[in-house]
Structure 1
Amino acid sequence: MTGPGRNGRRSDRAGAARVLLAAAAILALPLAAPASAQGESGAKGAPIKLQLNRLEATGEACRTYLLVDNGRGPALKSLKVDLFAFDTEGVAQKRVAVELGPLAEKKTSVKIFDFAGIACPKIGRVLLNDVLACEGGEASREGCLERTETESKASVPFDR
């Protein structure tokens, strides 16, 4: 006999158990994916925020105050950036390489440097041209450039 007897119930239970296991595995996939994606983006996705905070005339130079916000990222031994100052007509005037590191983990700091030979009123825009060096943990130059965000509180834009 092959009807709904004793053997039929066992196969129904086994089939139901297989369906429940498959459903549990499928339901667990979306829960596991965000956790791993979050782990991957933790170090890579934590932004490094650079804010052009203030420009101040000092002799023949323009003193620049740059707020460096590493509030969500890992410590970096070095973060060296390549910056260009453009005049009010949009013509590149001065280039400077600035070491912003070391950056402590989850810390904000202010770095001060000068654009020598250009007066502040002549600066129309500052450009983050590139990240020249980025060292610490698993950091790479390309990864740091990708993570870097710019903004300005000064009288001129700060672009990436």
Structure 2
Amino acid sequence: MLNGKKGDDEVKRPALFQIAMLAFAGLVASPSFAQDAAPEQTSALSLELNAAQPSDKGCRLTFVVNNGLGSDLTKASYEIALFDDSGVVDRMTVLDFKELPAGKTKVTRFDLSGMDCTKISRVLVNGSNDCAGEGIEPSACMKALKPSSKTDIRFGL
């Protein structure tokens, strides 16, 4: 400020600041901005090997599965290969997860007769035998599969 008068720059700064703040507030409140800023969610079928415990029959594998495909699955089953502690395929079997509602988490257990849990080093999802539901492509159960394990057993594709 010279000679008690405000310069042109000093008058414009508060007005520009207010305009910028209003514009920013409008963007933040805008639903389309909020949607664009949210991370993109992808369809996934998460399959977690949660536990491997000895049972009367042999080894009980517990899986936690979440259907994030956006549609109910009326059938979902996978062929798996079980590797022994020396890395050799011990057996192959099909695990039938039956119905998997969209957006729901489900826990399923499978007893593998005559199998010693401590001898399983790896479980490989070899393929999908059944994958059906309204609007579901038969290949979706493999394409969207996200395997993980909470055990010492390696689990994956």
Instruction: Give the TM-score taking structure 1 as reference length.
Output: 0.69
Aligned partners of 1:130 and 1:58: how far apart in 2?
A: 26
Maintained 8 Å contact 1:55/1:120: yes
Deviations 1:4-41 (A, max 9, x none): xxxxxxxxxxxxxxxxxxxxxxxxxxxxxxx9xxxxx9
Q: Which residue in the other structure is 1:13 paired with?
A: none
Question: Which runs of structure 2 are paired with 1:1-160 in the superposition (5 Å)?
Answer: 45-71=42-68, 73-160=70-157
Deviation at 1:143, TM superposition (A): 2.0
Deviation at 1:87, TM superposition (A): 0.5
Unaligned runs of 5+ in 2: 1-35
Aligned partners of 1:65 and 1:135: how far apart in 2?
A: 22
Maintained 8 Å contact 1:48/1:73: no
Aligned partners of 1:113 and 1:92: how far apart in 2?
A: 18
Aligned pairs, number: 120
RMSD (Å) for aligned C-alpha atoms: 2.1
Unaligned runs of 5+ in 1: 1-34, 36-40
User: Post-superposition, which runs of at least 4 consecutive aligned residues in structure 1 deviate over 4 A?
Assistant: none
Name which of structure 1's ranges 121-130 and 63-72 shifts more when overlaid on structure 2. 63-72
Identity of aligned residues (%): 29
Aligned partners of 1:92 and 1:141: how far apart in 2?
A: 26
Aligned partners of 2:48 and 2:77: how far apart in 1?
A: 15
Instruction: Give the TM-score taking structure 2 as reference length.
Output: 0.70
CA gap of 1:116–1:141, structure 2 versus 1, over 3 A, is farther
Q: Per residue, is there more helix in 1 or in 2?
A: 1
